Amino acid sequence: MRSTFCLKALSVAIATFSMASAASAAGLDRSGQDITAFLQDGLYAEAVYTYIDGDVTGHDNAYIGADDKAYTKGNKIGDIAESYDFFRYGVKADINDTFSVGILYDEPFGAAADYTGNNNFVAQGNLDDAINIISNGNATGLVDASNKIGQLSKGATQAGQAAAQFAEQAQNATSPQAAAEFAAQAKAAQDKALELKGQAESLGAAVASAQAEQATTGEGTNVEVRTENVTGILGARLGTNKEFQIYGGPVAQQVQADVALRGVAYGPATGYTAHISSDQDFGWLAGVSYSKPEIALKAALTYRSEIEHNTNIDEQYPLVAALGGDPSQGGTIEITTPKSVNFDFQTGINPTTLATVKVRWVPWGDFAIVPPLYNEVSKRATEDDKGLALVSYDDDQWQVELGLAKRLTPALAVSGNIGWDSGAGNPVTSLGPIEGYYSAGLGAKYNVTENWAVSAGGKYLWFGDAKGQLPTQKIVANFEDNDGYVLGVKLSYQAAQ
């Protein structure tokens, strides 16, 4: 029997790649956590393959000095966005006219960036240049740094001795006024000693970090984060015509990550490496939907909980050796992947045309990766008990996609969509320097038989310009005029109604 393409069947006409986003377009968002497979009628199954390739280039910061916000166009940074692909699977079945069950698999969050070439994110191995940059121009090379460290240390010692003498004079003073004056001089001398000692330690850290830069010559900064989700869903239809449905279920999530910071852009953190071991933990999903089949109308609001992971981490931080500690340490880290809200809407415009709207919100402003050794070292640099996160974001993500699907023949439909992603702030982490995107896509779906269909499509992405920054808020790069594309294919099965 030849397939017919009625209005309600247009609900699966949009091809494959809906809501697929580019790596770090906003935070670590990738798949968009689509659940529309569960919203299909009757018995339904799909397998989706998505390939994403972004071109993210820019220039490093040639400015040397203490102003963290200053930027001077520097060396070219080649494409850092590694292409990646992922799969999505979904199966949904009706138990009876009230209850439905489904299981979904996707890879919701991730990152893949790799710096190469002659720029500040690749260890070049020039010790004197590295000392100059890492010290913010306070030393022009190893000899200068060594001399200044000696001078500062000597000055700190002399100031400390003066502080001790003033303190002794304050104790032996014959009047309260004289004692107060000597005590004030002792404090000023002690403060000066601490200031000079801090400057000496800072230069010493710059030298140690430059030596780590030299030891990793040729290595580039890279990051890889991968997650996998398996979601079980139980739905119950309510209402006179079963037009309402409530649904929910557990979510199992696996996460792992690797990060390597290389090059003078990262200052004292150059040479830092972390491996976050694979961990599985659980969250949940809940939602409500409404349908009106005679006009192919479906609307669904879905909430996914955050998922907290506590897993092992191995860190190597060369600077720690210069501070008198163990540069290779193991520990535990807490990573909480963010909650999210998805809104999916579709309606028939006429018997051959379907309109769709997708909206997604993710509070990336609450997300952070805080490795314990990295954070502990940062407390000394910032003089703040809280320290710094390795990765964090300033803003929440909003993502919107509008689409149209048109039936051309009883078996063939085409679709088009446009989209916008707000990004998660600018400046943003140098490990994912994109401020959202605009997108446009085309796709087609062909019903091979009454039950089986193949969809395919592509989407072009215009990435927003962004400045890359360190956790200290220092600007280290600028990325402009970047783009990418998405390709996808889907095989779906839907039992005859």
- How far are the Cα atoms of 75, 259, 347 from residue 11, in angstroms, in the given order? 49, 41, 8
CA distance 436 to 21: 9
Is residue 77 domain-resident?
yes
What contacts 38, CB < 8 A, 6 or more positions away? 90, 92, 100, 102, 104, 233, 235, 247
- Residue 210: its pLDDT value, please? 87
Judge whether 351 lies within some domain.
yes
Torsion of CA 189, 194, 195, 200, to 10 degrees: 130
Query: 164, 180, 215: which is the final residue of a domain?
Result: 215
386 and 478 share a domain? yes
Do 447 and 366 fall within a single domain? yes
Residues 6+ apart with CB under 8 A from 46: 37, 88, 89, 90, 490, 491, 492, 493
Examine residue 135 and state whether it is found in any structural domain, yes or no: yes
Q: How many Å is the maximal CA-CA distance in the chain?
A: 112
Q: How far apart are CA 179 and CA 184, in angstroms?
A: 9
Q: Residue 497: what pLDDT?
A: 65
- Whether residues 278 and 180 fall in one domain: no
Mean pLDDT of the region 363-385: 87
Boundary (domain end) residue, out of 177, 194, 215: 215
Residues 234 and 156 in one domain: no
Q: Are residues 117 and 131 in the same domain?
A: no
* Enclosing domain of residue 51: 7-122+223-494
What is the C-alpha separation between 458 and 442, in angstroms, rounded? 6
Print burial letters for 165-190: b (CB count within 10 Å at least 16), e (below 16). Answer: ebbebbeeeeeeeeeeebbebbeebb
Residues 256 and 387 in one domain: yes
Where do the DSSP E strands lie in 166-272?
Answer: 222-238, 244-260
pLDDT bin (cut points 50, 70, 90) of residue 25 is: low
Q: Is the pTM of the predicted complex or chain greater than 0.95?
A: no
| Cβ-based neighbours of 325, under 8 Å, separated by 6 or more | none
Once rounded to an integer, what is the mean pLDDT over residues 141-150? 88
The mean predicted confidence, pLDDT, of the chain is: 88
DSSP 241: T
Provide the CATH number for the domain around residue 393: 2.40.160.60
User: Which residue reads 């006429």 in tokens?
Assistant: 350
Q: What pLDDT is recorded for position 387?
A: 87
Answer yes or no: is pLDDT of 8 > 70. no
Residue type for position 399: Q
488 and 348 inside one domain: yes
Q: Are residues 197 and 56 in the same domain?
A: no
* Same domain, residue pair 255 and 395: yes
Q: For residue 166, give the 3-state DSSP assignment.
A: helix
* Residue 1 falls inside a structural domain: no
Residue 297 has pLDDT above 70, yes or no: yes
In a domain, 232, yes or no: yes
Q: Is the pLDDT of residue 21 over 50?
A: no
Question: 181 CB contacts (<8 Å, ≥6 apart)?
Answer: none
Q: How far is CA 426 from the centre of its chain?
A: 13
Beta bridge partners of residue 41, listed in sequence order: none
Domain final residue pick, 183, 215, 247: 215
Q: Look at residues 226, 282, 227, 277 and name the one whose alpha carbon lies nearest to residue 252.
A: 282
pLDDT tens digit string along 305-346?
A: 999 999 999 999 998 988 888 999 999 999 999 999 999 999
d(CA 421, CA 23): 12
30 within domain boundaries: yes
Answer whether 24's CB lies under 8 Å from 426's CB: no
pLDDT of the residue at 372: 94
The tokens for 245 are 């449905």
Residue 200 is assigned to a structural domain of this protein: yes
pLDDT-derived band of residue 198, with 50, 70 and 90 as boundaries? confident
- State whether 111 and 86 are in the same domain: yes
The verdict on 26 and 107 lying in the same domain is: yes
Question: Is the pLDDT confidence value at 13 over 70?
Answer: no
If you compute the radius of gyration of the chain from its CA atoms, what whole number of angstroms results? 29
Residues 240 and 296 sit within 8 Å (Cβ to Cβ): no
Share of the chain above pLDDT 70, in %: 95
Q: What is the pLDDT of residue 31?
A: 84
- Total number of domains constituting the chain: 2
Q: Are 230 and 304 in contact (CB under 8 A)?
A: no
| Tens-place pLDDT, residues 380-434 | 777 778 888 998 888 899 999 999 989 898 889 999 999 999 988 888 888 888 8
Residue 448 amino acid letter: V
Supply 325's token pair.
């500690």
Residue 445 sits in the same domain as residue 367 = yes
Per-residue confidence (pLDDT) for residue 432, from 0 to 100: 81
2 part of a folded domain: no
**Under DSSP, is residue 409 helix (H, G, I), strand (E, B) or coil?**
coil
One-letter amino acid of 276 = I
pLDDT tens by residue, 429-470: 888 888 889 999 999 999 999 889 999 989 999 999 999 998
